[in-house]
Structure 1
Amino acid sequence: MRKCMPFAAVVGLIFLVGCGGGGGTPVGVPVTVGVSPSLPQFIHAGDSVSITATTSGDPTNAGVTWNLSGLGTLTNQTKTSATYNAPGNITSNVVALVTATAVADSTASGPLLMSVLVPGQENVHPITVDGGPVATQIYPNGVFTSVTVCVPSTSDCQTIDGVLVDTGSYGLRLLSSQVGVALPQLVDSNNNGLNDCVAFVDTSFLWGPVVQADIITSGEIATATSVHLVSSSNTGIPDNCSNGGINENTPESLGANGILGVGPEPNDCGFACDPSAGGVPPEPVYYLCSPSGACSPAFVPVDQQVTNPVAFFPVDNNGDIMDLPPVPGTAAGVDGSLTFGIGTAANNGLGAAKLFTFDPNSLSFTTVYNGISYPDSFIDSGSNGFFFPDASIALCNGGSFYCPPSQLNLSATNKGANGTSDIVSFNVDNATNLFNNNPSDVAFGTLAGPNPVGSFDWGLPFFYGRGVFTAIDGAPAPPGVPAGPFWAY
């Protein structure tokens, strides 16, 4: 229902360096714990890892105790070592966290993240349509996943559930209220912190600092990647960012704990915000904010902008494939997968998929519906229905969805810049009846609504029952695979 429409920065040249923006080690902690290996481990199901722990500042030499959060077992535990045994019967990739805590000081600990992988599925990440992370409300047709973020070059990591997977935006955005690790903010030479503003077409927005993290999804890692940490505060936001809109900085307002933007661009603003490109964008995206809270619009080099993490993976970095099972009516929930890379491994080839290229400037192709061409159309898992203009279909109360008296059997034709054409048949049901008659369901294959901006938005119902490829603009393509951007299905 919402497509991320990134603003762009207007003034200022910045030089960014890392800083400890999220906190630090308290002064006076007498004991520290180090673990080896010191970096996150990527292992296969059934494998084992030997771990050692060392303490410093411990006059008792009492060593550590061990704790495991997640699947697997810990064996051979001593005050200085343990063995992690990965589960052998998993069907999808999982993470586990081993922690060594000092006996002499329970506030001193050393973590080690384990990413446990199914052989042959190292690039496959589980996704689910489950209603979202907020127990008191249902997010219809929201597809969610878990994302692990680590302080760069450490195993100080946290796995965050309930992150919306959005093929219509770019970059990882996490609510700061859900992040417990101290991710360093990017600052300039005068200690002005870099902040990001992203707006949605429904006038809501997200605001907060740009931090760096190592991002882990199954067997993939994007190191030292810029992440948008959405501030929990409603103060200090520039007027031309808020613009009278709603600050979706809580799980209840956003419907998620964050957004994983894996769309067809590598970053959220591109050359329009890069000082080396001489862009002239219409509105600010990035701001430098002084320690006192004064903020000014800023240019940001492309490699320091909030980045689609897929583009930073070492190998499977040219796109992704979202697979969800069919939902002809409604369902209490469905599980699927997000496979990284296109043509980079045995499990991510294009096969017989139809490929639709498009202009990277417009990020859209043409959909013809009812004889009318809509050249600004797009495919977007972050939208929770089919959204298109049709004044003949009755609206529900509130006007967000369609409420026809009976099911409509419709079709539209997608056309790529490369000449590919495909007729898509779809059904539209009365949204009020869908929700009222199926109060426990969260997946709706026939949910649709109006699109006032005059385009065809192929939202999550389009993904049910088909694999949808999203190829990233400018990413290196393996032999036999066209360069992005494109969609294919």
Structure 2
Amino acid sequence: MNNCNRKLPWLARWHVLLLACVLALAACGGDDDDDSASGNGGSTGGSSTVAANAVSIAIGGGPANNINLPLVSVTICAPNSSRDCQTIDNMLVDTGSSGVRVYASVLAPSIPLPQELLADGSALVECAQFADGNTWGPVMRADIKMASQLATAIPIQVIADTRFPAVPTECVNSGEILDTVRSFGANGVLGIGVFQEDCGIACALTIGHGIYFSCTTATCRTVAAPMAQQVQNPVAFFATDNNGVAITLPAVPAEGAANVTGLLVFGIGTQSNNALGSATVLTVDPDTGLFTTIYKGNALRRSFIDSGSNGLFFPESTIPACTSGFYCPPATLSLTATHQGLNGVQREIPFTVANADVLIKNNPGARAYGNLGGPGLSVDMFDWGLPFYFGRTVFTAIEGRATPGGVGPYYAY
């Protein structure tokens, strides 16, 4: 089956957990269902650097030959080790989630990552809930290296680890289990959103969330997970340049582009290459990470900017939808909407929506499109996905961190 990645949020928490999901789409290319299509995780060694605090982003098809996937390489090491390391290619750059997640199938068994244990000695395992499915796997400690930056011994999720094959009923019932690289569309996720933890206080205080589990060899049960043991945003643990990120991508032509590269820069206002300049700062709700989009007079209060979504997803009953899940208007539409932050700042945003079926069919070699849109999950939600990033520098500020634009969380562009 051909697959394209569509990233949408799961919002039932105090701190928003925004994670990637997969929607099957026609005409996206790729037939191989084997995880080996991913290149089995890349090579050993470090990722290539552009500056000491930056890495290159490639917009490519990834393991499943999808569209509009921003991909980077991430080096994962055993804690406090400079030798037990592996660089994992095709990791999805995701400003809509927090934390590193990697498939066990691409992680070398020789990398000895310690299991995160709860106070009673049981293993901490996570059911990360996606809009179209869930990832199941243990929380383990690892060093995360990118460019000159290092996050030491932070909790990450290892997806589909065979040591925990029995997925709890609560996880199965809340969504399809995305247990292969192919089903997800990438080798894992580099979650660098506005929050430090992937779930926050909700998962630390309650057990009814169905996200974190205490597992023994026999059973798993839902558990409250201390915030320090939850999967963490690695940027927040860098020694420097740790208050957020900036993503810069070039504009792409209306017909799309085959090869697009950009930059992921760590820090905001900490170096000459990550200055805010005249960027508009839009603060977001510190509990949900959301702001308001005003579209055709309607206030869509659950809006967010998300590099891991491959389109602009919003409610619009007047635009016909394709069988692929994107919109297919008879002709390309020029539209506008207005962003409104919690700080009251507004900015009008022009955007275009093309006929996705025609666009993809007529440009089979393209993997980057700036004019894809589709229906959203609800009438009050606007997901400003990867097309919003083309032709811009977009900043994502982490909660509680000081920046020249104020204390996060916020987006700026």
Bin of the TM-score, shorter chain as denominator length: 0.7 to 0.9
Q: Does 1:285 align with 2:211?
A: yes
Quote the residue 2:249 is aligned against.
324
Query: 1:76-475 counterparts in 2 under 5 A?
Result: 113=45, 121-132=51-62, 134=63, 137-155=64-82, 156-180=84-108, 181-188=111-118, 190-202=120-132, 204-233=133-162, 235-243=165-173, 245-274=175-204, 279-280=205-206, 282-292=208-218, 294-329=219-254, 330-398=256-324, 400-454=325-379, 455-475=381-401
1:114 Cα offset (Å): 5.7
In the TM superposition, structure 1's runs of 4+ consecutive aligned residues that sit over 6 Å from their partners are 6-9
| Structure 1 runs not aligned, ≥5 long | 10-94, 98-112
- Contact conserved, 2:201 with 2:227, CA < 8 A, in 1? yes
- Contact conserved, 2:98 with 2:193, CA < 8 A, in 1? yes
**Equivalent-residue separation in structure 2 for 1:377 and 1:173 (angstroms):** 24
**Equivalent-residue separation in structure 1 for 2:192 and 2:67 (angstroms):** 20
Matched length: 375
SS of the residue corresponding to residue 468 of structure 1 reads: strand
1:2 Cα offset (Å): 2.1
Taking structure 1 as reference, are residues 161 and 96 closer, same or farther at Cα in structure 2, changes over 3 Å only?
Answer: closer
- Contact conserved, 1:386 with 1:448, CA < 8 A, in 2? yes
TM-score normalised to the size of structure 1?
0.74
- Contact conserved, 1:232 with 1:249, CA < 8 A, in 2? no
- Contact conserved, 2:78 with 2:112, CA < 8 A, in 1? yes
Give percent identity, aligned residues only. Answer: 44
SS of the residue corresponding to residue 69 of structure 2 reads: coil
Taking structure 1 as reference, are residues 290 and 380 closer, same or farther at Cα in structure 2, changes over 3 Å only?
Answer: same
SS of the residue corresponding to residue 211 of structure 1 reads: strand
**Equivalent-residue separation in structure 2 for 1:6 and 1:297 (angstroms):** 19
Taking structure 1 as reference, are residues 6 and 429 closer, same or farther at Cα in structure 2, changes over 3 Å only?
Answer: closer
Query: 1:58-82: CA deviations, max 9, x gaps?
Result: xxxxxxxxxxxxxxxxxxxxxxxxx
Taking structure 1 as reference, are residues 239 and 122 closer, same or farther at Cα in structure 2, changes over 3 Å only?
Answer: same
SS of the residue corresponding to residue 360 of structure 2 reads: helix
- Contact conserved, 1:266 with 1:472, CA < 8 A, in 2? yes
Quote the residue 1:486 is aligned against.
410
**Equivalent-residue separation in structure 2 for 1:487 and 1:184 (angstroms):** 34
**Equivalent-residue separation in structure 1 for 2:362 and 2:200 (angstroms):** 45
**Structure with larger Rg:** 1
Taking structure 1 as reference, are residues 189 and 371 closer, same or farther at Cα in structure 2, changes over 3 Å only?
Answer: closer
Taking structure 1 as reference, are residues 255 and 115 closer, same or farther at Cα in structure 2, changes over 3 Å only?
Answer: closer
- Contact conserved, 1:6 with 1:199, CA < 8 A, in 2? no
**Equivalent-residue separation in structure 2 for 1:4 and 1:170 (angstroms):** 12
**Equivalent-residue separation in structure 1 for 2:392 and 2:184 (angstroms):** 27
SS of the residue corresponding to residue 444 of structure 1 reads: coil
**Equivalent-residue separation in structure 2 for 1:397 and 1:188 (angstroms):** 45
1:244 Cα offset (Å): 5.7
1:123 Cα offset (Å): 0.6
**Equivalent-residue separation in structure 2 for 1:308 and 1:172 (angstroms):** 7
**Equivalent-residue separation in structure 2 for 1:114 and 1:257 (angstroms):** 17
Quote the residue 1:34 is aligned against.
none
Q: Which has the higher contact order (CA 8 A, sep 6+)?
A: 2
| Structure 2 runs not aligned, ≥5 long | 1-5, 15-41
**Equivalent-residue separation in structure 2 for 1:408 and 1:200 (angstroms):** 30
